[in-house]
Structure 1
């Protein structure tokens, strides 16, 4: 064995062992989700700080609505859902932003933003509760931290692959440019595989988990959870003319998938229609 080659293999083996040890150490069982969550390389405090910084940027860049038609509804619904989820509403910040898009979002650090556009298609407080509950669930389940961990894991894998491919080319001086080009192409293919095989599916999984958690919070807060189905039906109608990628290439599940998932969850709550 060439001494340099042996050294490279030792480095790669050590890097792989370190990555695996990080992954094992970062696995935590979430009882409410019924599965393990991969958490490493990120801490709750650092995620909260990043979320708060992003929230500040959003508040500076977007117009905060002062229209009582929106703010009174959110101020009525959000505290009720937060208490139902076991949270103290005083520790959270939730705002309506003047934006016509059909969107809402949550950030680590207990921040929730709702766009006026999505509130305009809601018929009642219960439909707003479906969206707010969904966003609360994202924060409660630390989906942002899990996504960060998954992204880091994918990056570690790609770096390791690049090192390994580069090492093989380096061990073969006759390989020349063709070997390097093939290595780069394979690394790009693996990058696409990581996106479609790990990052996007887990994002869709997070969305469905947040949907289910949101209707559970709705039920605990005394809202009719079946209104979540009505909301998503209206959402589908309102966005019917908008182009979106096929479900496998999207970070969000198809509306039909969400509705079916919600229907099963609501039936388990005894509120099915």
Structure 2
């Protein structure tokens, strides 16, 4: 008897391979090819909606010093990243979580919690540079493309086999296929994105005149603040703190930037 789960996996792999052939683009900043069904421009509408929701749901700070700090640091990094050819919006959110984000279309949000944690502008630059790197690297578009291709492949595979197995087997195969896609493809790529953004981010810091070594201190501080609340690395879309720190330290050493921290 043929194994239906194997057949779904084979169908998924075939369709994914076809998608890669149809949507590969080389990214010079990353030094690798990417699977892109869309680009950041195509995600502009979704980004605008997400920005509107963030503004509506969050409390926007009116602290002039905080806003000026974000704008001062971000502008230098934007130029260093080659993104100065578009208008940018800067918003500080009254939120204790140490977080920041950059959306396609030129929007930067920084939480007050991050501003409190980042003791120096160099450390703030580490986070903003990291988030800008996601934009330069087309990570949002790549993530979207991976998710869309995987979902399509699984749906086609399930439809092709649906009439040849019991409902229980079909349900189990669908669950197995979805879990395999998540753990084997989507999550590892997201971890890869984070490490790539770490490397590009410190490049932008150096170009902008900030001390790249301060990124290591910032991530160490964030690791201490968030200790104990993370899932195992293979079940996470972000690398473990130990992996991130080791990879970043290795990269900083290769560029001679550890002493600059």
**TM-score normalised by length of structure 2:** 0.89
The 5-angstrom pairing of residues 80-229 of structure 1 reads 80-88=76-84, 91-169=87-165, 179-229=166-216
Question: Which of 15, 24, 40 is the aligned partner of 1:27?
Answer: 24
- Asked if structure 1 preserves the Cα contact closer than 8 Å seen for 2:27 and 2:33, the reply is yes
More deviation, 209-218/18-27: 18-27
Deviations 1:83-116 (A, max 9, x none): 1111217522222111011211222212221111
Report Cα offsets for 1:119-157 as digits up to 9, x if no partner: 111110000000000010011111010000000111012
SS in structure 1 at match of 2:117: coil
Dislocated runs of 4+, deviation >6 Å: 15-19
- Cα contact 1:110–1:139 (8 A) shared by 2: no
> Per the alignment, in what secondary structure is the counterpart of residue 96 of structure 1?
strand
More RCO (CA 8 Å, sep 6+): 2
Kindly tell me the number of residue pairs found equivalent between the two proteins: 249
Question: Residue 19 of structure 1 contacts residue 156 of structure 1 at CA under 8 Å; is this kept in 2?
Answer: no
Change in 2 beyond 3 A, CA 1:91/1:193: same
Task: In structure 2, list runs of 5 or more residues that go unmatched.
Answer: 1-10
Out of 40, 63, 66, the position equivalent to 1:67 is: 63
**TM-score between both structures, scaled by the size of structure 1:** 0.85
In the alignment, structure 1 segments of 5+ residues that lack a partner are 1-12, 170-178
Q: Deviation per CA, 1:158-196: give whole Å up to 9, x if none.
A: 112211221323xxxxxxxxx221121111011001111
Confirm or deny: 8 A CA contact 2:39 2:138 kept in the other structure: no
In the TM superposition, residue 23 of structure 1 has moved relative to its aligned partner by 2.9
State the Cα distance separating 1:202 from its structure 2 match: 0.7
